[in-house]
Amino acid sequence: MRPDSLGFCRQLFVRHLRCGVRRVEDVLNSLVFFLMVVTLFPLGIGPDSNTLRELSPGIFWVVALLSALSVSGRLFSADFEDGSLEQLAVSGHPLGLCAMAEVLAHWVLSGLTLVVAAPVFALMLNMVPAAIPTLMLSLVLGTLCLSLLGGIGAALTVGVRRGALLLSLVMIPLTVPVLIFGTSAVGEAAIGYDPSRWIALMGAFAAMGLLLAPLAIGAGLRISLEQ
Amino acid sequence: MWKIIHKFGSPPWFFRFATKAVQWLLPLMLIALVVGCVWGLLYAPPDFRQGNSYRIIFIHVPAAVVALAGYYVMAFAGLVSLVWKIKMADVAMRAVAPVGAALTFVALVTGAIWGKPTWGAWWVWDARITSMLILLFLYLGVVALFEAYENPEVAAKACAVLSLVGTVNIPIIYKSVDWWYSLHQPASIKFTGESAIDASMLYPLLVNIGAFYLLFAVVVMMNMRATLLETHTNAAWLREAVD
Amino acid sequence: MYFDSLNAAWDMAGHGPYVWSAYAITMAVVASLIILPHRRARRAQQLLVQVSSGGTGDADQDPTTGGGNASQA
């Protein structure tokens, strides 16, 4: 690790953020994907508003998971292909930390935008309005967890053929706790109970992820580069 | 302790050890399995609430226990491979993954078959079965990752990282599924009474659990032997051992 | 034995099909778990013997007899 590593990673983060913001289509793309999948559920289950209200926390989180999955696939592929990942690996800066800059920038662009758009989707699914603040809080933490897990999966599968399918297989079981914590938090809030223990669990999971993900992502990227 | 790991890390030593171990343990395992199954099927009394269908427990629980333990064995092998760079640990990991997946599959299928006469449905999303299903996905992920990489050494490293991440997550997954289930559970019915199991049912269960652990060890060693035979065709020690 | 007759054991008060099919599937998996690596090892072993004795002797030698008088040069 070089003495200027932290500063370097911060610059990387800002750079990724700026690039992402410039490519508005990517951000809009994930929102539109979310909207379309949310539309599929009433089409599949029926428009009965009571059923939708009951199922809305679950539907919301499943859709959040699916969109996180589809977006994570592209996390490192561009850098892998054009060689900049290799440059980072030999630069002397810790690879895991540099990758975290990209993962976090990606989280801000995809996860946090979802949080902002969440009330609209929640109302479309007829969610109890009192639950929406809990939804947004749990989404902040939850999308962070999903981005971290997506980063790990992407790091392990970036160099592999048909990596996208493999990424789903690898990532989905690991995201089950996020799904459960998130839906439980929103579900409890919807019926008037206190969701704080679920939020706390989600927060603990996120904290653990922030500590361990750089290790796993760094290791995974080095392994992928070895190919 | 360190010497033992180093001995296992030597292909010739392991090959000789595994050959002899399998010769002894395979018959022992078969005997234990037959004893446990016959005992559980024909000699143990039926359950007060579930009648005779509970006899599936004697294969369901051992399969589930060993499947879960197997994942930790796989992850440990991955750790050894990553940290000490012992090739035999790679071979071990690769051997364990499909075996663990198969045992998880057995646990799921027997669980489902058990569920039908007990609750009237082939599949019930209770905490344990759901956790087993997720364990199956975790195993399949490792198996798929092994196949995805062309270089087996690099594949082993990737799978080691994945199994370690999975290991950290497994307790969290199990606990969260447990909470999820108790949150949505209809009022009274519990899966298996956590009440103390009667001795007449406990003993055959223990015998079969032992049999399944032996099965795991035997099959993994057999797979490792086969891999060594397939990949070390030029090694003099192997030709000597085979003749 | 707990059951009165083999027939009763087969039927298990109506639960027979479930119990026996569960055991059958399990034993099938256990059997294949054992047989597959055994076959793999045997095939690899035969290949190994062929490779190490094929250089000097008859290529059509029966591998199970171990290459007859082929000297392990």
Q: B193-221 burial, b if ≥16 CB within 10 A, otherwise e?
A: eeeeeeeebebbbebbbbbbbbbbbbbbb
The residue among A182 and B241 whose pLDDT is bigger is A182
Residue C39: phi and psi, rounded to 5, are -65, -45
Which residue type occupies A157? T
Tens-digit pLDDT profile for residues B118-150:
888 888 787 888 889 999 999 999 999 999 998
B102: which chain C residues are within 8 Å (Cβ-Cβ)?
29, 33
**What is the pLDDT at residue B184?**
72
Residue B51 confidence (pLDDT): 82
Q: How close, in Å, is residue C19 to chain B by CA atoms? A: 6
pLDDT, residue C72, reads 44
Contact A43, A126 (CB under 8 A): no
* CB-CB under 8 Å, C29 with B223: no
Token pair in block for residue B164: 């370690």
The rounded percent of chain B whose pLDDT value lies above 90 is: 55
Residues of B in contact with C13 (CB under 8 A): 46, 51-52
Is B165's CB within 8 Å of A181's CB?
A: no
The pLDDT of residue B240 is above 80: no
Q: How many CB atoms lie within 10 A of CB A76?
A: 25
pLDDT exceeds 80 at position A156: yes
Chain-chain contact of B102 with C33 (C-beta, under 8 angstroms): yes
Tokens of C44: 């690899």
pLDDT at C56: 46
Rounded CA Rg of chain A? 18
DSSP string, A95-134: HHHHHHHHHHHHIIIIIIHHHHHHHHHHHHTT--GGGHHH
Predicted confidence band at B212 (pLDDT cuts at 50, 70, 90)? Answer: very high
The pLDDT tens digits of the residues spanning A186-201 come to 999 998 899 999 999 9
Partner A contacted by B87 (CB < 8 A)? no
Query: ipTM value of the model?
Result: 0.87
Confidence band of B117 (pLDDT split at 50, 70, 90): confident
The pLDDT assigned to B186 comes to 52
Closest in B157, B169, B183 to A184, CB measured: B183
Cα B40 to its chain centre, rounded Å, is: 21
Which chains reach chain B with 3 or more Cβ–Cβ distances below 8 angstroms?
A, C
CB contact (8 A) between residue C19 and residue B233: no
* Residue B94 touches chain C, beta carbons under 8 Å: no
Task: Say which residue, A89 or B32, is predicted with more confidence.
Answer: B32
Summary mean pLDDT of chain B: 88
**For A122-126, B94-98, B180-184, B216-220, which range has the lowest pLDDT when averaged over its residues?**
B180-184
Contact between residue B98 and residue B145 where contact means Cβ atoms under 8 Å apart: no
Judging contact as 3 or more Cβ pairs under 8 Å, the answer for A and C is no
| Touching A: B residues 45-84, CB under 8 Å | 82
d(CA C41, CA C54): 19
- Tell me which residue in B41, B44, B113 faces C18 most closely, judged by beta carbons: B113
Q: Return the amino acid letter for A132.
A: I
Degrees (nearest 5) of the Cα angle B7, B8, B13?
A: 70
pLDDT for C69:
47
For residue C66, give how far its alpha carbon lies from the nearest alpha carbon of chain B (Å): 8
Indicate whether B195 pLDDT > 60: no
Nearest-CA residue of chain C relative to B44?
A: C2
Q: Is the pTM of this model over 0.80?
A: yes
For residue A159, what is the DSSP state? T
Determine the average pLDDT of the residues in A103-126: 90
With cut-offs at 50, 70 and 90, classify the pLDDT of residue B196: low
In this prediction, residue C61 carries a pLDDT of: 46
Residues of chain C with pLDDT under 70: 54-73
**Helix (H) / strand (E) containing C21:** helix C16-54
Pair A158, A83: CB distance under 8 Å: no
CA distance A227 to chain B (A): 7
Around Cβ A98, how many Cβ atoms within 10 Å? 26
State the smallest CA–CA distance between residue A96 and chain B in angstroms: 14
- The rounded mean pLDDT for chain A is 90
**Torsion angle of C-alpha atoms A11, A80, B84, B87, degrees rounded to 10:** 180
Show which residues on chain A lie within 8 Å of chain B, measured between beta carbons. Answer: 152, 156-157, 160-163, 166, 169-170, 172-174, 176-177, 180-181, 184, 187, 201, 205, 208, 212, 216, 219-220, 223-224, 226-227
Position B243 confidence tier, pLDDT thresholds 50, 70, 90: low
Does the distance separating the beta carbons of B145 and A201 come in below 8 Å? no
If you average pLDDT over residues B21-47, what whole number do you get? 93
Q: Is C28 on the interface with B (CB under 8 A)?
A: no
The mean pLDDT value for A117-141 works out to 92
Q: What are the tens digits of pLDDT across the range A168-178?
A: 999 999 999 99
pLDDT tens track for A10-43? 999 999 889 888 888 877 888 888 888 888 888 8
pLDDT of residue A78: 86
Q: Provide mean pLDDT across the span A128-150.
A: 94
With 80 as the cut, is the pLDDT of residue A7 above it? Answer: yes
Q: Does B222 touch chain C (CB under 8 A)?
A: yes
Q: In whole angstroms, give the CA distance from residue C43 to residue B229.
A: 9
Distance in angstroms (rounded) separating the CA atoms of residues A190 and A179: 16
What proportion of chain A, given as a percentage, has pLDDT over 90?
A: 51
Split at pLDDT 50, 70, 90, the class of B198 is: confident
Name residue, tokens 């975290």: A100
Assess whether pLDDT exceeds 90 at residue A4.
no
CB of B16 closer than 8 Å to CB of B241: yes
Q: Contact, A143 vs A64, CB < 8 A?
A: yes
Confidence of residue B115 (pLDDT cuts 50, 70, 90): confident
Q: Which whole number is the average pLDDT over B212-217?
A: 97
Q: Do B172 and A205 touch (CB under 8 A)?
A: yes
Which of the pair, C62 or B95, is modelled with greater confidence? B95
Instruction: Please say if the pLDDT value at position B190 is more than 80.
Output: no
Task: Name chain B contacts of A180, Cβ cutoff 8 Å.
Answer: 176-177, 179-180
Calculate how close chain A gets to B181, using CA atoms only, in Å.
10
| Mean pLDDT, rounded, for B185-194 | 48
Q: Across the strands, what pairs with B51?
A: B47
Interface test with A, best of B136, B137, B146, B151 (most A CBs within 10 A): B137
Question: Residue C61, SS3?
Answer: coil
The pLDDT value given to residue B144: 93
> How big, in percent rounded to 5, are the helix, strand and coil portions of chain B?
85, 0, 15
- Residue in B117, B223, B242 nearest the CB of C15: B117
- Contact check, Cβ <8 Å, B110/C12: no
Summarised one tens digit per residue, pLDDT across range A35-91 is 888 888 888 888 888 888 989 999 999 999 988 888 888 888 888 888 888 888 888
> Which pLDDT belongs to residue C71?
46
